[in-house]
Amino acid sequence: MSFGMHIMEGFLPLPWAVVWFAVMLPFIYLSIKKARRLVEQNPKALLLLAFAGAFTFVLSALKLPSVTGSCSHPTGVALGAILFGPVVMALIGLIVLLFQALLLAHGGLTTLGANVVSMAIIGPFVTYGVYALLKRTKLPHWVAVLCGAALGSLATYFATALQLALAYPGGPDGFYGSLVKFTAIFAVTQLPIAVIEGILTVLVVDLLYAYNRQEVESLRNLSIGGEQA
C-alpha cells in the first residue's frame, strides 16, 4: 500500500528516489567494510549476521492492516543493531528489502533507497543510540533493549512519514500538514506494534545470551570496538 512502511514501487517522484539512493550509498559502503572485517576476524559472526537478517526479514514482512486503510509492521532491525551496532544493519536491511521487493512485492526497486534509509539506517541508529545511552544507567539490561527497539521502530515510521511529506507537500498546510497526516496514519497501529517489537527483541536477546553469552559478547565487542554488552 502507498501508506505502508515500505514505500511501494513507483510511489516516489524520480528526483526523490534518486536523492534517497544517494543518501543510502555511503552507508552501504561503510556497512560492507564493517561486515567483511567482522567476518574475517571471527567467521562465526556470519551465522549471527544471518540470524539477524532472517529476524529482520520475517518481522518486516508481517503487514498488519490499519484502521486508516494503510498497513503497519515491525521492522526487526533492533536485534542486529544491538548485537553489531547500527552500521552493519545498512547492508542487512538492503538485502532484506531487496528480497522483499522482488519476492513479496513489498516495497519496490525505485523506492529501495528511501526504504533502506528509513528502516535500515535511521531505525538502527536510533535503536542503538537509545540502547547505548540507557545501558550506561543502572536500569536493567532488558529496559535498554526494550526502549531501543521500540523507539527505533517508531523512528523508522516517522522517517517514512517525513519522506512522503517531502515528496507530497500538498494541501493548504504544505509540508507540515502532510507530515502530520502521514504520521497520524502510521501512529494508530505502529505505537502498539513498536512496544510488541521491543518485547520480542528482549526475548530473543535474552535467549541468545542464555545460549552462549560469552560468544555473543565476543562478537559484539569485535563489531562495536570493545564496548561490553
Each residue's pLDDT tens digit, 139-148: 999 999 999 9
**Alpha carbon distance 51, 131 (integer Å):** 20
The count of C-alpha atoms lying within 13 angstroms of the C-alpha of 71, restricted to the half-sphere facing its C-beta, is 17
Query: What are the beta bridge partners of residue 64?
Result: 72
Q: Residue 120 has what DSSP assignment?
A: I
For residue 183, what pLDDT is reported? 78
Q: How far is CA 189 from CA 69, 126, 133, in A?
A: 11, 20, 27
Q: Could you give the angle at which helices 14-41 and 45-60 cross, rounded to 10 degrees?
A: 150
Q: Which tops the pLDDT comparison, 163 or 71?
A: 163
Domain spans of the chain? 14-224
| Closest listed residue to residue 193, CA positions, set 153, 136, 148, 165 | 153
Instruction: Could you please state the CATH topology (level 3) that the domain comprising 14-224 is classified under.
Output: Arp2/3 complex 21 kDa subunit ARPC3 (1.10.1760)
Q: Could you give the angle at which helices 14-41 and 86-99 cross, rounded to 10 degrees?
A: 120
For residue 69, what pLDDT is reported? 44
For residue 129, what pLDDT is reported? 95
Q: Residue 201 has what DSSP assignment?
A: H
For residue 66, what pLDDT is reported? 54
Helix (H) or strand (E) holding 2: none
For residue 124, what pLDDT is reported? 96
Where residue 218 falls among pLDDT bands split at 50, 70, 90?
confident
C-alpha cell at 6: 515500505
Please give the average per-residue pLDDT across 57-69, as a whole number: 69
For residue 225, what pLDDT is reported? 61
Where residue 68 falls among pLDDT bands split at 50, 70, 90?
very low
Percent residues over pLDDT 70 in the chain: 89
Each residue's pLDDT tens digit, 9-55: 888 899 999 999 999 999 999 999 999 998 888 888 888 899 999 99
